[in-house]
Amino acid sequence: MGQNLVIVESPAKAKTISKYLGKNYIVEASMGHVRDLPKSKLGVDIEDNFTPKYITIRGKGELIDKLRKAAKKADKIYLATDPDREGEAISWHLAYILKISEEENCRIVFNEITKSAVKASIKEARKINVNLVDAQQARRILDRLVGYEISPILWKNVKWGLSAGRVQSAALKLICDREEEIKAFIPKEYWTVDCSLKKERKKFPIRLTQHEGKKIEIKNEEEAKKIINDLEQGNFVVKTVKKGKRMKNPLPPFTTSTLQQDASKKLNFITKRTMSIAQALYEGVEVKGYGTVGLITYMRTDSVRISEEAQGKAVNFIKDNYGDEYVPEQLRVYKSKKNIQDAHEAIRPSYIEITPEIAKVSLTPEQYKLYSLIWKRFVASQMSSCELSTNSIDIINGSYKFKASGNTIKFDGFMKIYDYLTEADEEDVVLPELQEGEELKPASIEGKQHFTQPPARYTEASFVKLLEEKGIGRPSTYVPTISTLLSREYIVREKKNLMATELGFIVNNILSEYFKQIVDVDFTAAMEGKLDNIEEGSEYWTNVVEEFFAPLKVAIDKAEKEVSKVVIEDKVSDVPCDKCGKMMVIKHGRYGDFLACPGYPECKNAKPIVEELDVDCPKCGGKVLVKRSKKGKKFFGCSNYPECDFVSWNEPIKEPCSKCGSYMTIKYSKTKGKYAICSNTECGNTMPLEDDTEKKDDK
């Protein structure tokens, strides 16, 4: 039997798959795309029906030679890139480079990296789906036309290095609009009257809801005082006691968006970190007792659908581990939202039997947290509803009506493993046994002043939710969109909130005035719909690009003539130029901020902004500084350089080694997580460190 070649994107994925396929298969990694549009020019022939001019990506020559040699030796080639538009396009480019016929059944796809799924995909090998490729090409060319045609206008009139983007610019407008709403907001005063009643030793709060049968609004202190006086003169009487039951249903399994939102809320992960960890779990992790396994299904999806096989295994697992009563009478079917691709299942564990507890010893702390979240959400989604005993009470005092509600869990159902709170749950309190007609004594009655609050700034989680709701971008684009806005300094992350910068507002104002379609949310969403149509084969990609570009070209011509130059003042530092004495200004470059002389071009002095660690140099006692090499790589050196030559690629810490007294540095591994290791290689002492996810990601 001859040799077969399988090509995937990443080495981690290649390692996992090679263990499943055996010795007759060689698995190689393309390291992502092998061909793309050139960086130095537009690379799209507008006159020739938007024909793309693809070139081999710089630095990929050696890898392509390796793939070509492997392909020549192989009897059969399988292209196993990710199961989405981008993956299909990578396979198409690989097929071109390796001269694989369009008629060849060379494309294999799997939603999960398991032995059965990978082997089944080989039996179901198909031709490359040209519609999927065309949808990706259309998106790539649209993004290139926007970026390369509009960005130079921003460079010329605002600042070099800026960019516009089809999805990016619509997203920026949403953040700028929210900031404008906050600025324009005028707070209004309102009051509440907060009451709590008591029965014997038990106190419980009640909510004032009505006065004379109408919803109550208290505008000022005077109105509040009148209500308090009325209540103090009257009596609190239980009018009705309603006891019943309420069923609380589990949430569906995760999509990309809901995973990012939940990981942000519950684990404090930024979206980029969430997707990076999920990628590692999908591509394969060495799990004790199981070998290298892909622990979760493909993590870029907007579907809540799951396979019958996965559901069957989940139901059996629930029966075996929790009991028959935890399986619902009817199997759960979740409906996805409209206008989704639904190409993949929801995000779920590939092997339900690998519980978070089993996997824990083989995972980093971050991987364990995210896997646990995904596993519990999926298992819970297939379990029985939680049954609550409810208690709803109406209380009257003269013409005023109050409410109180509470519940107790009668049967925990899915909440045995996955709890979540609804708005109704948050208002519930523990109530004593009460009878209709019973009179209760007040424990407290007080008026409180409040002011209406402006709309909240978006967090990454709430912004991803908004992008999904508005139909801007797809699961694969949420993270890159936010990352681009941050790297261009159009927005900043302050604590968890995303805020537009001065630069962000300037760019948004120009784009909103001259390129309305680019920043228009509905237009961007409609374009996503057209990309879906291309994928389905109902629209041709060049027609979609033409429809988009025709009005864009008119807008570009107008903007080139009319956009006036905007001067952004550089922030002045407290560091004088050591060549001419002028106070240096802060500039932003490829590797972050740096100091530059404002006297440029006469004075070309520039220096890095020095970040100082709270660590003494182990050689001379000076301060340890964070520095960057010429290639932008971070390293750590002494402030007394060149007198002191201390340097380390790894960050040193304060605490010396407990065994030999040498300095220790921070390391990170899949198995150990974050830890410190002695710099003395002969010693090798280690100690665990607390993992600070947010901080690490923000660097």
Positions marked active-site: 298
Cα–Cα distance measured from residue 21 to residue 115, given in angstroms and rounded to the nearest whole number = 8
Alpha helices in 403-477 (DSSP H): 423-427, 460-470
Nearest-angstrom CA–CA distance, 366 and 693 = 8
Question: Alpha-carbon distance 124 to 109, whole Å?
Answer: 9
Per DSSP, the residues of 12-42 read HHHHHHHHHH-TTEEEEE--S-SEE--SSS-
Crossing angle, helix 541-562 and helix 502-514, to 10 degrees?
Answer: 110
Type of residue at 62: E
Residue 419's closest CA among 460, 458, 452, 388? 388
- Cβ neighbour number for residue 588 with a 10 Å cutoff: 15
Residue pair 595/588 in contact (Cβ under 8 Å)? The answer is no
* 275-296 per-residue burial string, b: 16 or more CB within 10 A, e: under 16: bebbbbbbbbbebeeeebbbbb
SS3 380: helix
Reference 133, options 40, 11, 35; nearest CA is 35
Q: How far is 525 from 557, CA to CA, in rounded Å?
A: 25
Task: Spell out the residues 6+ positions from residue 145 whose beta carbon is closer than 8 angstroms to its own.
Answer: 42, 44, 545, 548, 549, 552
Separation CA 525–CA 507 (nearest Å) = 21
The whole-angstrom separation of Cα 384 and Cα 414 is 6
E strands, 465-610, are 491-494, 497-500, 571-576, 583-589, 592-596, 606-608
3-state secondary structure of 61: helix
CA angle 8, 88, 35 (to 5 degrees): 75
Q: How far is CA 37 from CA 508, 543, 544, in A?
A: 27, 20, 19
CA 49: distance to chain centroid? 36
Tell me the residue ranges of DSSP E strands in 431-570. 439-451, 491-494, 497-500
Residues ≥6 apart with Cβ < 8 Å to 353: 317
Q: How far apart are CA 82 and CA 90, in angstroms?
A: 9
Q: In angstroms, rounded to a whole number, what is the distance separating the alpha carbons of residues 210 and 214?
A: 5
Q: Tokens at residue 72, please?
A: 């020549």
Torsion sign across C-alpha atoms 541, 544, 548, 549: positive
Beta partners for residue 243, in sequence order: 391
Of 606, 536, 540, give the one whose Cα is nearest residue 570: 606
User: CA 87 to CA 89: how far, in whole Å?
Assistant: 5
Reference 128, options 80, 69, 63, 71; nearest CA is: 80
